[in-house]
């Protein structure tokens, strides 16, 4: 019976810095720096261990904008290792590593087959001189591909048993991300492909089975939104069956943790509670970057305003970050449970009411332009999204109300 | 909203204490009497208290903290708030009369969001608040006043400052120390170094390209080196193999000379020899035959050459045939010539006989039309007639002329005679003379007559003389001719005598005639002038008498003259006619002369006789001409034949002489010879025929052998036997060369396997050339080795650099570091942004709030201030820009706040607070609570305040706590409750 097995990965984003990480102890920082490479090494190890026929990497191997030579060299080393084990690599470039933006074109070994341009093309995988699979794909030549590329995929040579399509893009309806090479699920079924290996979306998802339409997600989370396990899929296609197995590759996990501090009367209690929660969380295994979300009443707010929470977290981090399997709270948010009086307060003729009313009308951009348009600072600052603006405005209002009402 | 009553379960010093409130109420108590506790209780009821603060109010005697406050609300009516420290953490429960129970939130709704702070800042104030004012710097007073007015406290101001401080800690646009500024510096540094690393990494691409170029170059150089080495080896081998190659080239060039066309039959040479041995006898036989045939042919040709062509032969034959005819013609010709001679003789004799100026030649032209005889006859007659007539007329005219002359003379004479009368005598004489004249005239007439006769005679004589002369001449000539012809001397002498006689008689006659003429004329002249005789004088008288008679005679003579003239004219005319006729005839004669010149010598009268003689002559002549013609024809024929023969002979160039007979003989012998030649030709032709038959047979036999040979030639692809043999030789040579070549080839192949040596052959270089090349290549190899070493060095350098770059993680590390610092910046920025936003929000709210309420507040403030100051001031102006409050006195003067007295400032403050409270209460009717607010007021001012408060209390509930007795005393309308300080003790 004919059978092929392969690893499907995408969005390696090698050596691309983590987002939202302000301060980390040095040893953790080093591990963060190495994390994408370690994940890549794991991918290679898995491929060798599973004795797969080939590896598919569907775009965004690295970021052109923050491209380091190291990423390229490590990639080449990984491919060389795969070559030593006779594993072919089929890769395409995506919106982050589009061909024309590549700063350091490194020559890969000859087991690497690259879809060289934006036109859909294919490679034929041969095992012992027998054509077993056609692998189809295309690369981004420039930053964006807005054509509906999925429509261009056509099965060529039906005598070949397996047809695998690789597409770096997103479903038309998904507007959370930049929509590139948009497609609709129904389009992917028009041609008799055996597997649709997708890329671009960092959250792993099996969109459809039979045939599988799969986002493997990225191999290493890089910000607090990319939580949990990250990795690749090991796919075995046979004439009768398709088996899909997820294999985690990430070295560092982003994990959200919620702690309710409402009943804590003092910081000690809070500290204990947080520690316990972290230690007891079963999802927290291995090296973890924790996104702590605290819930509490005005006491918490007071602690926060007094920067006591920060100090608290620092203390906790000192304790939990020393293990081999370290944990580290890299970010926290507070969620103050306060009766929402704004609606009532707003009605009052008094100053508080006026504050609330003004807050709604307020133009945040204008008030923060001193810094955000500051010549020196602006190039380092992220632009503030409307959503952010709303949150910040809310926080500013809270700050004022707290101060005004506490007297 | 109004408080109606309060019941305190336990709060501070109050336990189970109840108090009722009217619209305006003054609660009086000394210090420590519990006024403030009641105040705080009310606040606690309305807004609750944090546990710690609650704890403060726990009664010393124990018991629970808590109480009730009943409120009359415009919207929901009366309800009661209950709070217990132990219950729900001091949260409120509200009870309405209908038995419903509500929670804290409900209460807050009723309070319309008024918080403790706002309540305190708007609706309640104490002396403490006024004291705060004194703490403020004077210049800040206006701002502070407003701030208090708006929030009910100075908190906002503090908050603003606090926020500003925080912001300054975080960021200053041009600062260095604030956190964000420091972070920015860090980032700048990191960014710069990151860029440096990045730039460094971008050189990777370049270096990589450089590396690959160097590698390529190295590879190229190595290949080149390899090639050069092989080349050197080859050159060396080449040198070694040079002699062998030389041989090889020689053999090959030999072979090349022979080219490709080397087909040759097997054993070609022997085969061709065999055929030829058979062929040779046949060929010699054929040669003999051919020789014979040639001889025959030559003979034949010779004969045929001898044999004149057919035309010539035929011409000769024709000539021979014509020979007899020619002989006949010749005889006939001779005969005709004889006839001609005799005829001519006859004619000439006849001509001689005629002896007119007519010669034989003239006869050719002679022609007599039928009428000529008649013409001549006519001319003869007419001539005679005319001559006669003419003579007659001439005579007549002559006569008339003489008559006339006579008449004229007579007339002249008469005219002379009739001269004047004086000369009558003379006339008479003349008459006489006339008579004499008359006789003379007669004589003269006679003489004239004689003269006339003489003329006639002379003419006759002359004529006879001429005839005689001519006859003598003619006869003389004839005799001389005959004498000349016949050589008879006597005849010549006779003719000479005759001539002499003729000339002599003519000359004599002439002389006698002239002498006679002179005699006659001299006779006449001697008689003309005859002098008058003496009778004339006698007759003179008669003549005078005759004078008239003469005149009449003159008349008569004139008359006669006239008629004479008439006659003369008449005759002249006649003469003219006759002369015309004569001229006509002469013309005719001339014409005849023209045609027949000989007539000139013949008198017209003989013409008819001449005609007959001539006619006969002409007919004879015609006969002669006829014969002449015949002769001409014959002669032509003979000559033609002769010329033909002559021509023929001349054409043939035969030396036969000019005689026709000889020529003919030659022709005949020619014909005979020709016939002989023809016979010989026939004989040889037969021989030739036979010969050719034999040849044909031989050729047939030869042909088979020759075709055999041709086959062999074709097989050898040559044209001739010679080249066949040449080719045979070539084939042999080729074989030898090929063997030698194979030999060399094998040797070379041993030295240079796989035909490497062939390139040497193609180049064919000399030894010195090769030696030079060897050195050259050796040099090149050295060069290349140096280059390789250099390139390898470069490559190693660049590879080391690349190695370093590849293993370097500086950029990567920095990138991550930078990212984190950036994150830190963003975090700080966010913090800053929130604070900044809060501050902006606060300022904005303040501004809006001010704008919204300021007018109302200031209006009310002005009113209250005016009331409180006893109308000393009429209005208050809000602070503007940097200017604080201003008040306007009744006199129109304006004062800044810091220009006012302490008391007035307090009044202004109270007015402001009341105004704010009033303004705020319009939508939110909460009671005023004043806690000893007028501590520093004098009695007058207190009175004024009380009055004012009483007025306000009509609209809003006013609760006034005081420790001053005099205040209670001033109350008119407000209820007063006294708290006994000791009551609880």
| pLDDT (0 to 100) of residue B520 | 66
pLDDT 10s digits, B476-485: 888 888 888 8
Single out the residue of A198, A201, A156 nearest to residue A57, CA to CA. A198
| pLDDT (0 to 100) of residue B527 | 45
**Mean pLDDT taken over chain B:** 79
| pLDDT (0 to 100) of residue A7 | 93
pLDDT-derived band at B153, boundaries 50, 70, 90: very low
pLDDT 10s digits, A122-134: 999 998 888 889 9
What's the mean pLDDT in A304-320? 87
Most B CBs within 10 Å, among A350, A384, A398, to test the B interface? A350
| pLDDT (0 to 100) of residue B536 | 57
With an 8 Å Cβ cutoff, are B815 and A351 in contact? no
| pLDDT (0 to 100) of residue B138 | 39
Task: Check CB contact of B679 with chain A, cutoff 8 Å.
Answer: no
Q: Which of A127-136, A250-259, A321-330, B888-897 has the lowest mean pLDDT?
A: B888-897
| pLDDT (0 to 100) of residue A49 | 93
pLDDT 10s digits, B377-398: 888 888 888 888 888 888 888 8
Q: For chain B, what percent of residues have pLDDT higher than 90? A: 1
| pLDDT (0 to 100) of residue A166 | 93
Q: Which residues of A touch B105 (CB under 8 A)?
A: 339
Q: Which residues of B touch A404 (CB under 8 A)?
A: 117, 151, 155-156, 159
pLDDT 10s digits, B745-803: 888 788 777 777 777 677 667 778 888 888 888 898 999 899 999 989 988 998 888 88
pLDDT-derived band at B983, boundaries 50, 70, 90: very low
Max CA pair span of chain A: 85
What's the mean pLDDT in A381-387? 82
Domain that holds residue A227: 3-248
Q: Are residues A268 and A235 in the same domain?
A: no
ipTM: 0.83
DSSP state of A176: S
Q: Are residues A373 and A315 in the same domain?
A: yes
- A vs B: CB pairs below 8 A: 200
Q: Are residues A131 and A165 in the same domain?
A: yes
pLDDT-derived band at A137, boundaries 50, 70, 90: very high
| pLDDT (0 to 100) of residue B139 | 38
Q: Are residues A108 and A185 in the same domain?
A: yes
Q: Which two tokens stand for residue A177?
A: 């991300």
| pLDDT (0 to 100) of residue B723 | 81
Q: Are residues A258 and A171 in the same domain?
A: no
Tell me the shortest Cα–Cα distance from A366 to chain B, in angstroms: 9
Q: Could you give the 3-state DSSP secondary structure of residue B586?
A: helix
With an 8 Å Cβ cutoff, are B840 and A106 in contact? no
Burial B498-513 (b: 16+ CB within 10 A, else e): bbeebeeebeebeeeb
Q: Are residues A257 and A167 in the same domain?
A: no
Show which of A228, A248, A268 is a domain's final residue.
A248
User: Is it the case that residue A41 has pLDDT exceeding 80?
Assistant: yes
| pLDDT (0 to 100) of residue B145 | 46
Q: Phi then psi for B936, rounded to 5 degrees?
A: -100, 5
What's the mean pLDDT in B560-567? 85
What's the mean pLDDT in B86-113? 80
Q: Does B174 or B531 have the greater pLDDT score?
A: B174
What's the mean pLDDT in B913-936? 73
pLDDT 10s digits, B683-728: 888 888 888 898 888 888 888 888 888 888 888 777 787 888 887 8
Show which of A191, A213, A248 is a domain's final residue.
A248
What's the mean pLDDT in B157-166? 83
Tell me the shortest Cα–Cα distance from A330 to chain B, in angstroms: 11
Q: Residue A65 is part of a domain; what is its CATH number?
A: 3.60.21.10
| pLDDT (0 to 100) of residue A6 | 93
pLDDT-derived band at B135, boundaries 50, 70, 90: very low
Q: Are residues A241 and A389 in the same domain?
A: no
Residue in chain B lying closest to A375 (CA): B173
| pLDDT (0 to 100) of residue A336 | 78
**Mean pLDDT taken over chain A:** 86
Most B CBs within 10 Å, among A371, A373, A379, A395, to test the B interface? A371
The burial class, CB within 10 Å (0-12 / 13-18 / 19+), for B979 is buried
Residues 602 through 661 of chain B touching chain A, CB cutoff 8 Å: none
Task: Check CB contact of B294 with chain A, cutoff 8 Å.
Answer: no
What's the mean pLDDT in B277-302? 86
What's the mean pLDDT in B650-673? 78
Single out the residue of B20, B144, B119, B123 nearest to residue B70, CA to CA. B20
| pLDDT (0 to 100) of residue A81 | 92
Q: Which residues of A touch B807 (CB under 8 A)?
A: 73
Task: Check CB contact of A362 with chain B, cutoff 8 Å.
Answer: yes
Show which of A231, A248, A265 is a domain's final residue.
A248
Task: Check CB contact of B686 with chain A, cutoff 8 Å.
Answer: no
| pLDDT (0 to 100) of residue B638 | 83
Q: Are residues A307 and A345 in the same domain?
A: yes
Angstrom distance (rounded) from CA B715 to CA B266 = 9
**Angle at CA B359, nearest 5°, toward B357 and B362?**
105
pLDDT-derived band at B149, boundaries 50, 70, 90: very low
Single out the residue of B17, B14, B49 nearest to residue B33, CA to CA. B14
Residues 124 through 183 of chain A touching chain B, CB cutoff 8 Å: none
What's the mean pLDDT in B69-95? 84
Tell me the shortest Cα–Cα distance from A114 to chain B, in angstroms: 19
| pLDDT (0 to 100) of residue A117 | 87
With an 8 Å Cβ cutoff, are B118 and A362 in contact? no
Its sign, for the CA torsion B376, B378, B381, B383, is: negative
Q: Does A392 or A351 have the greater pLDDT score?
A: A392
Task: Check CB contact of B108 with chain A, cutoff 8 Å.
Answer: yes
Q: Are residues A19 and A79 in the same domain?
A: yes
User: Is it the case that residue B643 has pLDDT exceeding 90?
Assistant: no
User: Is it the case that residue B650 has pLDDT exceeding 70?
Assistant: yes
pTM, full prediction:
0.50
Which residues are CB-neighbours of A213 under 8 A, at least 6 positions away? A185, A188, A196, A198, A206, A207
| pLDDT (0 to 100) of residue B430 | 64
Task: Check CB contact of A393 with chain B, cutoff 8 Å.
Answer: yes
User: Is it the case that residue B968 has pLDDT exceeding 80?
Assistant: no
| pLDDT (0 to 100) of residue B871 | 84
Number of domains in chain A: 2
| pLDDT (0 to 100) of residue B622 | 84
A358 vs B117, B208, B848: nearest CB = B848
Q: Are residues A176 and A34 in the same domain?
A: yes
Residues 279 through 298 of chain A touching chain B, CB cutoff 8 Å: none
Domains of chain B from N-terminus onward: 1-114+926-985 (3.40.50.300), 184-263+729-807 (no CATH), 367-595 (no CATH)
Q: Are residues A227 and A274 in the same domain?
A: no
pLDDT-derived band at B137, boundaries 50, 70, 90: very low
Angstrom distance (rounded) from CA B458 to CA B453 = 9
Q: Are residues A207 and A283 in the same domain?
A: no
Most B CBs within 10 Å, among A19, A21, A69, A364, to test the B interface? A69
User: Is it the case that residue B41 has pLDDT exceeding 80?
Assistant: yes
With an 8 Å Cβ cutoff, are A33 and B156 in contact? no
| pLDDT (0 to 100) of residue A338 | 63
Percent helix, strand and coil across chain A, each rounded to 5?
A: 35, 25, 40
Q: What separation in angstroms does the CA of B898 have from each of B129, B892, B903, B912? A: 18, 18, 12, 16
B171 vs A341, A344, A371: nearest CB = A371
């Amino acid at each position: 019976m004919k059978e092929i097995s392969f690893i499907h990965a995408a969005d390696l984003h090698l050596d691309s810095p983590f987002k939202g990480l302000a301060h980390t102890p040095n040893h953790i920082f080093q591990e963060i720096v190495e994390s994408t490479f370690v994940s890549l090494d794991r991918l290679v190890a898995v491929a060798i261990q599973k004795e797969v026929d080939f590896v598919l990497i569907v775009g965004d191997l690295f970021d052109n904008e923050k491209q380091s030579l190291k990423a390229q060299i490590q990639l080449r080393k990984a491919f060389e290792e795969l070559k030593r084990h006779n594993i072919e690599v089929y890769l395409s470039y995506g919106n982050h590593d589009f061909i024309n933006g590549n700063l350091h074109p490194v020559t890969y070994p000859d087991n690497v087959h690259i879809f060289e341009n934006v036109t859909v093309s294919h490679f034929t995988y041969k095992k012992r001189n027998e054509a077993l699979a056609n692998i189809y794909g295309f690369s981004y030549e420039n930053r964006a591909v807005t054509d509906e590329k999925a429509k261009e995929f056509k099965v060529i040579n039906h005598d070949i048993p397996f047809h695998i399509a690789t597409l770096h893009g997103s479903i038309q309806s998904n507007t959370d991300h930049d929509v590139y090479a948009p497609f609709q699920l129904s389009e992917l079924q028009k041609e008799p492909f055996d597997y649709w290996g997708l890329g671009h979306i960092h959250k792993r998802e099996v969109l459809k089975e039979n045939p599988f339409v799969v986002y493997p997600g990225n191999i290493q989370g890089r910000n607090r939104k990319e939580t949990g396990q990250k990795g690749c899929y090991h796919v075995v296609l046979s004439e009768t069956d398709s088996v899909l197995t997820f294999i985690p590759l990430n070295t560092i996990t982003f994990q959200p943790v919620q702690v309710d501090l409402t009943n804590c009367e003092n910081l000690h209690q809070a500290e204990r509670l947080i520690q316990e929660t972290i230690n007891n969380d079963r999802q927290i295994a291995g090296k973890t970057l924790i996104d702590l979300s605290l819930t509490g009443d005005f006491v918490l707010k007071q602690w926060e305003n007094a920067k006591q929470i920060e100090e608290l977290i620092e203390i906790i981090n000192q304790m939990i970050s020393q293990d081999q399997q370290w944990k580290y709270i890299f970010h926290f948010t507070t969620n103050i449970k306060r009766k929402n009086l704004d609606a009532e307060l707003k009605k009052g003729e008094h100053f508080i009411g006026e504050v609330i009313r003004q807050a709604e009308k307020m133009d945040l951009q204008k008030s923060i332009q001193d810094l955000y348009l500051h010549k020196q600072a602006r190039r380092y600052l992220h632009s503030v999204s409307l959503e952010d603006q709303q949150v910040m405005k809310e926080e500013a209002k809270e700050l004022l109300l707290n101060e005004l009402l506490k007297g | 909203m109004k408080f109606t009553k309060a019941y305190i379960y336990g709060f501070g010093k109050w336990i189970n204490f109840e108090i009722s409130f009217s619209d305006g109420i003054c609660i009086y108590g000394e210090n420590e009497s519990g006024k403030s506790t009641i105040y705080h209780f009310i606040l606690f009821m309305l807004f609750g208290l944090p546990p710690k603060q609650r704890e403060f109010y726990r009664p010393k005697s124990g018991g629970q903290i808590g109480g009730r406050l009943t409120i009359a609300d415009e919207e929901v009516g009366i309800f009661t708030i209950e709070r217990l420290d132990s219950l729900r953490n001091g949260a409120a429960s509200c009870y309405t009369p209908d038995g419903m129970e509500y929670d804290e939130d409900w209460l807050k709704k009723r309070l319309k969001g008024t918080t403790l702070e706002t309540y305190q800042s708007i609706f309640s104030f104490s002396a403490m608040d006024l004291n705060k004012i004194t703490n403020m710097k004077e210049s800040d007073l206006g701002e502070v006043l407003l701030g208090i007015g708006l929030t009910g406290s100075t908190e906002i101001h503090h908050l603003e400052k606090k926020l500003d401080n925080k912001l300054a800690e975080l960021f200053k646009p041009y600062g260095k120390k604030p956190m964000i500024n420091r972070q920015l510096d860090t980032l700048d540094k990191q960014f710069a170094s990151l860029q440096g690393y990045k730039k460094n990494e971008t050189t990777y691409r370049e270096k990589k390209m450089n590396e690959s170029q160097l590698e390529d170059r190295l590879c190229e150089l190595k290949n080149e080196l390899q090639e050069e080495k092989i080349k050197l080896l080859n050159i060396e081998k080449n040198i070694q193999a040079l002699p062998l190659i030389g041989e090889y080239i020689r053999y090959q060039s030999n072979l090349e000379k022979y080219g490709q066309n080397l087909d040759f039959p097997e054993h070609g040479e022997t085969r061709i020899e065999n055929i030829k041995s058979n062929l040779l006898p046949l060929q010699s036989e054929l040669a003999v035959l051919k020789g014979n045939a040639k001889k025959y042919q030559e003979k034949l040709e010779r004969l045929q050459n001898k044999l004149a062509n057919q035309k010539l032969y035929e011409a000769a034959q024709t000539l021979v045939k014509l020979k007899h005819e020619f002989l006949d013609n010749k005889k006939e010709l001779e005969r005709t010539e004889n006839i001609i001679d005799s005829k001519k003789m006859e004619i000439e004799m006849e001509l001689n006989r005629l002896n007119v100026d007519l010669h034989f030649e003239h006869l050719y032209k002679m022609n007599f039309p039928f009428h000529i005889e008649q013409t001549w006859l006519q001319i003869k007659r007419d001539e005679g007639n005319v001559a006669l007539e003419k003579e007659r007329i001439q005579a007549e005219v002559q006569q008339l002329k003489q008559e006339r002359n006579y008449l004229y003379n007579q007339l002249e004479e008469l005219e002379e005679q009739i001269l004047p009368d004086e000369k009558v005598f003379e006339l008479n004489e003349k008459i006489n003379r006339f008579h004499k004249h008359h006789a003379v005239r007669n004589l003269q007439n006679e003489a004239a007559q004689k003269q006339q006769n003489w003329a006639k005679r002379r003419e006759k004589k002359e004529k006879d003389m001429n005839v005689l002369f001519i006859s003598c001449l003619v006869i003389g000539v004839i005799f001389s001719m005959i004498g000349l012809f016949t050589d008879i001397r006597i005849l010549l002498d006779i003719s000479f005598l005759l001539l002499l006689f003729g000339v002599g008689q003519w000359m004599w006659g002439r002389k006698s005639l002239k002498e006679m003429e002179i005699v006659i004329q001299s006779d006449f002249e001697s008689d003309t002038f005859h002098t008058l005789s003496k009778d004339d004088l006698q007759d003179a008288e008669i003549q005078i008498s005759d004078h008239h008679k003469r005149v009449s005679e003159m008349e008569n003579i004139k008359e006669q003259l006239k008629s004479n003239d008439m006659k003369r004219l008449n005759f002249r005319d006649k003469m003219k006619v006759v002369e015309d006729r004569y001229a006509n005839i002469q013309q005719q004669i001339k014409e005849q002369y023209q045609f027949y010149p000989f007539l000139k010598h013949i008198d017209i009268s003989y013409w008819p006789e001449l005609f007959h003689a001539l006619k006969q002559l002409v007919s004879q002549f015609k006969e002669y001409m006829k014969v002449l013609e015949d002769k001409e024809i014959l002669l032509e024929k003979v000559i033609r034949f002769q010329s033909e023969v002559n021509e023929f002979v001349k054409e043939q160039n035969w030396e036969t002489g000019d005689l026709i007979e000889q020529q003919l003989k030659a022709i005949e012998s020619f014909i005979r010879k020709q016939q002989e030649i023809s016979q010989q030709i026939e004989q040889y032709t037969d021989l030739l025929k036979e010969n050719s038959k034999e040849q044909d047979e031989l050729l047939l036999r030869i042909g088979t052998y020759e075709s055999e040979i041709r086959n062999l030639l074709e097989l050898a692809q040559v044209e001739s036997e010679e080249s066949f043999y040449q080719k045979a030789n070539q084939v042999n040579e080729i074989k030898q060369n090929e063997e030698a070549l194979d030999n060399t080839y094998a040797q070379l192949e041993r030295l240079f396997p796989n035909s490497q040596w062939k390139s040497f052959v193609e180049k064919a270089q000399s030894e010195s050339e090769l030696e030079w090349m060897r050195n050259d290549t050796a040099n090149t190899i050295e060069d290349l080795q140096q280059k390789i070493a250099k390139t390898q060095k470069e490559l190693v350098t660049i590879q080391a650099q690349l190695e370093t770059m590849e293993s370097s993680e500086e950029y990567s590390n920095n990138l991550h570091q930078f990212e984190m610092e950036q994150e830190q910046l963003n975090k700080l920025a966010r913090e800053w942004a929130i604070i900044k936003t809060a501050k902006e929000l606060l300022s904005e709210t303040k501004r809006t709030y001010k704008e919204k309420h300021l007018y109302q507040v200031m209006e009310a403030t002005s009113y209250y201030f005016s009331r409180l100051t006893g109308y000393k001031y009429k209005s208050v102006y809000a602070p503007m820009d940097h200017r604080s409050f201003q008040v306007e006195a009744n006199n129109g003067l304006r004062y800044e706040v810091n220009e006012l007295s302490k008391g007035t400032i307090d009044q202004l403050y109270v007015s402001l607070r009341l105004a704010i409270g009033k303004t705020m209460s319009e939508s939110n009717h909460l009671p005023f609570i004043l806690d000893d607010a007028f501590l520093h007021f004098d009695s007058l001012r207190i009175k004024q305040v009380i009055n004012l408060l009483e007025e306000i209390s009509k609209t809003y509930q006013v609760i006034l706590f005081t420790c001053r007795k005099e205040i209670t005393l001033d109350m008119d309308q407000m209820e007063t409750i006294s708290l006994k300080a000791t009551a609880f003790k």
